[in-house]
Copies of this chain bind each other. A is one copy, B any other.
Amino acid sequence: MMETLQELRQFFDSGYKEYRPDITIDCAIFGYHDGKLQLLLVKNKILTLWCMPGGYVKKSETLHEASARITLERTGIGNLFLKQFKTFGDPGRNQAYGVFDPEKLYEISGIRIPEDSWLLSQTVSVGFYAITDIFKATPKADILSSECRWFPIDEIPHLGFDHDDMVREALFTMRMHLHHFPVGKNLLPRKFTLRDIKQLYEVMSGKSLHATNFPNKLIKIGLIDRLEEKKRIGAHRSPTYYRFNDEIYEKALKEGLVVV
């Protein structure tokens, strides 16, 4: 992530030595906290539109490593849950909803790029999504973006490039994966009530879940274990605490599991 004009100039001049000119990564970074699902967006100075954060892939990196680097730079959090959702490479996608306009670039940075610049190649973008706790993340803009902040999932503005499509696909895939991979380990406190985990899954999936069938399923497959401790809310309300079973959770992350 470039933060100074000097870094930007160097990247434009000779970035093709370190980065592959033909592949980019775009990241749908979903944030959850306390019953709210949000998406991290950056305001692109050239397009003056909000976009998903993204970047080029280094020649030495795997696609997954590139997505981990990009999400770390934007959120300050390493080791996020990251999954590919779809790859976008149709002709003209770079021109779809906003062009990488060299004139606009000159206006905001004073940098002129040549007509045969490596930055003007057609790219394939591999979409990854991540899920994080909003309160653990520190959103960070770079030299080419004026802002970086969270948007509630139902208040996403019209995005630049083909990112409207991307967000729709990311949300669809994340929600499909909810049935097959566990979530919650970095989103809920270490001990939580059945109400907490039901709320998390409802917000992530955008659907109502059955008050007893859903948590019973999680208990039955061994994903969560009942603790002896109860939460003290009032005289007649003292729900039992649960926690994730680490072994089953990690196995399910790797191999998949029918969760919901």
Residue contact A89 to B126, C-beta cutoff 8 Å? yes
Which B residue sits closest to A123, measured CB to CB? Answer: B22
Known A20-B122, A124-B22; contact A89-B256, beta-carbon cutoff 8 A: no
Fill in one digit per residue for A218-235: 1 if any B CB lies within 8 Å of its CB, else 0: 000000000000000000
Q: Which A44-91 residues sit within 8 Å CB-CB of chain B?
A: 57, 59-63, 84, 86-91
- A59→B57 CA distance, assembly (Å): 21
A198 close to chain B: CB less than 8 A: no
Contacts of A63 in B (CB 8 A): 87-90
Question: Complex: how many Å from CA A55 to CA B64?
Answer: 24
Residues of B within 8 A of A104 (CB): none
A176 touches B256 (CB 8 A): yes
Question: Chain A: how many interface residues by the 8 Å CB criterion?
Answer: 26
Q: Which residues of B contact A61 (CB under 8 A)?
A: 91
Known contacts A59-B91, A63-B88, A176-B180; 15 additional CB pairs below 8 A are: A22-B22, A22-B124, A23-B124, A60-B91, A63-B89, A84-B86, A87-B126, A89-B126, A124-B124, A124-B126, A172-B256, A176-B177, A179-B179, A179-B180, A179-B258
Chain A residues engaging chain B, CB cutoff 8 angstroms: 20, 22-23, 57, 59-63, 84, 86-91, 122, 124, 126, 172, 176-177, 179-180, 256, 258
A to B CB contacts below 8 Å, 30 in the list: A20-B122, A22-B22, A22-B23, A22-B124, A23-B89, A57-B89, A59-B91, A60-B91, A61-B91, A62-B89, A62-B90, A62-B91, A63-B87, A63-B88, A63-B89, A63-B90, A84-B86, A87-B87, A87-B124, A87-B126, A89-B126, A124-B124, A124-B126, A172-B256, A176-B176, A176-B179, A176-B180, A176-B256, A179-B180, A179-B258
